Structure 1
């Protein structure tokens, strides 16, 4: 098979499309390939040069191939129909790069609603599909009698059966509390807001929740009395973070037991097989949504995900959201005909990311930037999230996986 996979980034407003093709051929040995850009499809023709007498010795480039052979001489042909999603401007290919078994280039597209390259007719009502943000469901109600257990070993860490009188969502920690009022309150406006919760309060934010440590068992509290990180007293699993008389526990690390039925506190409406990755993606999408709240257009958002490894060690994941609603066309493994590749369209988020293992100058600069939002995540969520980003970056050739010291990746691919 000539084409193994194809991944295309379509930017209709910019009228451009980046195409990344992975093939089953090593072009370092033979580069006998012809690419034809037509208005409704992309055609790849490959000639397997086993007979040295049929070609010139200098034939090694795409340009010379079309001069030397006719279309009937090609051994393998693959057609990528694209008219369902956009119209291509013929012969508009640029930025062609061939590396090992990958081919990448950029093509131009026609405006969707008529017009020309300098002006486009925009309609007030569009039928474009918009990405549906994931939603979470809270599996806990007021006065429910539950036990809080370790998700790893099912050890009960709560003080037997507990129930909560109030279940409230916490505001974003990145919000300026002074903007909530039309005049000042108090003489010191720089004072950090202090969260004071009752023993029976259940306060949640994103994929974590804060409870009073009196709700937890004496054995668990005694085991973690000299720790800033809250661990399971049986299996030593990472569960959450301590802050004075409260403990922040994370959804992926603990469960609630109600009527001998164990379940996580939060479940996702569009859940996958990996809860940690679901929590990771939900956190990034929710922070991006809050960052752009009230804005007409989506802006590039910077996010820091912090993970406390130990009392003296903290890791940071710097994320720069580049495209929130990027249309992507990719092969779905099905063929319309023997030589035609079927594409499917989806909207996803494109990001740049970097892992920092300590608080260095770059992390401090990000934290000091008022346009950057940050939050804590669990240790396992950090590790699984990084693995997810590394796997998603494989969708594009190696040449395009890094830029300016950051790695390129996607969410929800």
Structure 2
């Protein structure tokens, strides 16, 4: 007699671990719908057991030491379940004197981590190319002055170690032909370096003359703002370029490094005469440990990420009341990003949003998602 084929109960398991609270939130997505009274969930010290009328499944939790009688906030409905349980600290540090010692941790410096200080040097000669078609914009340029820009939300006066005179003109921040000013995601150079290889669209958007790829924008007078993921730098038989999604993460981390509050709001925007796009991002938790067990074929593939948990929504209406409200709020950081950054960030938020069951994925008109900000 042919044996019935074993069918996996779960197709997706998501666990949010909060070490200081010693708790774990669990989301289970089943392969099929079950009546609520047909599913039994039990906790063991190192695993979660799930029983249905015909099948049983175990989810290993080797990184947790589970309190077996601590299950709470249990919801079983249709094809998903969610609940919370408490854990003990495996290394027995939380709740002891050792956990009360404040560690000295260096603030993550994304500019150094991304080796910009090694890439940008007045001793190098640079070729600048379109990252899309590799068309040259300039060759053999050696910059005499390479300096970091103030953050987008800083007063330009903070760029100086002493107060300038009252009649000082901040045009000094406009790069001359031998200057390059940079942030972690983009750089400013003089227009005359690029004029033979670029064209302009409406709204002072800079395009590659060869392939019409959008490179950046004309900020003011002769100041070109180019992104490291649209224009690559070639020097000493090496090249430097970034990825648009990583640039988004880097911009967010830079904001968080300067923040002392738990939650943080950022308004990302891209504006041109043709379109306006906005992403509202409300960061609720930083460095949350996320465990994802995704069933694929015959076994689970495990992923462990350190993420930020966020609320987000998107609009393409510049006159939207929410846009006006956030733009007038001094506690909201406004960051201009490129069109490709806007597209990639929106895709990432939508993908991570799918890890949360639909019934729990919306809060106060915002979607809930995760952002993979951290490499470790």
TM-score normalized by structure 1?
Answer: 0.74
Structure 2 residue aligned with 1:3: 10
Structure 2 residue aligned with 1:351: 310
2:41 to 35, 45, 50: 35
Matched, 1:230 2:237: no
Deviation at residue 179 of structure 1 after TM alignment: 7.0
1:322 to 273, 284, 288: 284
Deviation at residue 266 of structure 1 after TM alignment: 4.1
CA distance in 2, matches of 1:150, 1:164: 19
Q: 1:192 to 1:102 in 2, by over 3 A?
A: farther
Q: 1:266 to 1:3 in 2, by over 3 A?
A: same
Conserved in 1, the CA contact under 8 Å of 2:197 and 2:210? Answer: no
> What is the CA RMSD across the aligned residues, in angstroms?
3.7
Structure 2 residue aligned with 1:44: 50
Matched, 1:252 2:229: yes
1:403 to 359, 363, 372: 363
Conserved in 1, the CA contact under 8 Å of 2:137 and 2:193? Answer: no
Q: 1:133 to 1:122 in 2, by over 3 A?
A: farther
Matched, 1:170 2:149: yes
Structure 2 residue aligned with 1:101: 79
Deviation at residue 121 of structure 1 after TM alignment: 3.4
Structure 2 residue aligned with 1:58: none
SS of 1:123's partner is helix
Structure 2 residue aligned with 1:372: 332
Matched, 1:123 2:91: no
The count of aligned residue pairs is 358
CA distance in 2, matches of 1:288, 1:301: 8
Higher strand share: 2
Higher radius of gyration, 1 or 2: 1
Structure 2 residue aligned with 1:285: 253
Conserved in 2, the CA contact under 8 Å of 1:318 and 1:353? Answer: yes
Any idea what the Cα deviations from partners look like across 1:195-247, whole Å, max 9, x if unmatched?
23221111111211110101113352xx3286411111122111101122101
Conserved in 2, the CA contact under 8 Å of 1:329 and 1:346? Answer: yes
Deviation at residue 110 of structure 1 after TM alignment: 4.0
Unaligned 5+ segments in structure 2 are 1-7
CA distance in 2, matches of 1:383, 1:182: 38
Conserved in 1, the CA contact under 8 Å of 2:284 and 2:310? Answer: yes
Matched, 1:78 2:40: no
1:183-332 matches, cutoff 5 A: 195-218=173-196, 220=198, 223-224=199-200, 227-243=203-219, 244-258=221-235, 263=239, 265-267=240-242, 275-289=243-257, 291-292=258-259, 295=260, 299-308=262-271, 310-311=272-273, 313-331=275-293
CA distance in 1, matches of 2:176, 2:334: 26
Higher mean Cα deviation, 204-213 or 394-403? Answer: 394-403
Conserved in 1, the CA contact under 8 Å of 2:214 and 2:230? Answer: yes
Any idea what the Cα deviations from partners look like across 1:169-189, whole Å, max 9, x if unmatched?
112121245678999766699
CA distance in 1, matches of 2:109, 2:214: 28
Deviation at residue 152 of structure 1 after TM alignment: 1.4
TM-score normalized by structure 2?
Answer: 0.81
